[in-house]
């Protein structure tokens, strides 16, 4: 039924909606880069996951791939609700309600992000010129999301905001897989549980850092390591 309805939608409409949703994910990635408070970063991360869920849901609709609906539900329920709530709890327990410093400042970070988006578009659209239009352009947009997530991890000194960058990077990988005609559901479930395990481990690790060094600022931890050497 879904594939029959999807067949009635024109290719131009499918491309437009898919591009709007993928482009919205890039916009939210820039919103995350712009935030300078931990609570705001976590809230934008939840929005990032919600947009991902909508994007993957649309891919499921136009591809006639019902397994992607489960992937979209995982993004909406787990990443948009469970993880942000847990991160807010970690921030509250650690008592780190404060501004997050960006290496080089917000302005330079945003400019670097624009450059990475342009680079990803140029590289993907040229190297995959003969691929399916929807898959090629969605993967190009997904690569932009991945690079922006990596930039978030590199330019933030606080461990919690680096976790947010890692999660947004993983969202880009999911978007790329969905745009490239999906991935086996078993792989999606494996990824979801791997992220859950990694999140638990990182949460415990953050508590240990806080107990030992009284901070989760990576710059302070680097300074402490230098003193030991």
- Per-residue pLDDT band for 218 (boundaries 50, 70, 90) equals low
99-113 mean pLDDT: 81
Contact residues for 72 (Cβ-Cβ < 8 A; gap 6+): 53, 54, 56, 57, 60
DSSP 99: B
pLDDT value at position 173? 84
pLDDT value at position 156? 84
What does pTM read for this prediction?
A: 0.78
Buried b (16+ CB within 10 A) or exposed e, 164-198: bbbbbbbbbbbbbbbbbebbeeeebeebbeebeee
Maximum CA extent, the chain:
66
Tens digit of pLDDT for each residue in 6-54?
A: 444 555 676 678 888 989 999 999 999 998 888 888 999 999 999 999 9
Domain layout of the chain by residue ranges: 14-219
- Per-residue pLDDT band for 5 (boundaries 50, 70, 90) equals very low
**Which of 2-11, 73-82, 124-133, 145-154 shows the lowest per-residue confidence on average (mean pLDDT)?**
2-11
């Amino acid at each position: 039924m879904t594939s029959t309805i999807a067949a009635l939608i024109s290719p131009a409409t499918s491309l437009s909606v898919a591009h709007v949703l993928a482009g919205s994910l890039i916009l939210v990635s820039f919103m995350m880069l712009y935030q300078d408070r931990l609570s705001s970063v976590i809230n934008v991360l939840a929005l990032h996951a919600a947009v991902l869920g909508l994007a993957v849901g649309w891919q499921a609709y136009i591809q006639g791939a019902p397994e992607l609906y489960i992937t979209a539900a995982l993004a909406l329920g787990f990443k948009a609700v469970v993880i942000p709530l847990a991160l807010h709890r970690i921030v509250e327990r650690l008592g780190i309600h404060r501004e997050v410093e960006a290496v080089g400042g917000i302005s330079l970070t945003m400019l670097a992000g624009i450059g990475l988006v342009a680079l990803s578009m140029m590289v993907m659209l040229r190297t995959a010129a003969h691929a399916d239009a929807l898959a090629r352009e969605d993967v190009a947009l997904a690569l932009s999301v991945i690079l922006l997530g990596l930039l978030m991890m590199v330019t933030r000194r606080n461990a919690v905001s680096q976790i947010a960058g890692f999660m947004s990077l993983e969202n880009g990988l999911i978007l790329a897989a969905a745009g490239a005609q999906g991935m086996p559901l078993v792989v999606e479930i494996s990824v979801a549980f791997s992220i859950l395990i990694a999140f638990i481990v990182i949460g415990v690790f953050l508590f240990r850092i806080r107990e030992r060094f009284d901070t989760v600022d990576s710059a302070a931890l680097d300074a402490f390591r230098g003193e030991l050497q």
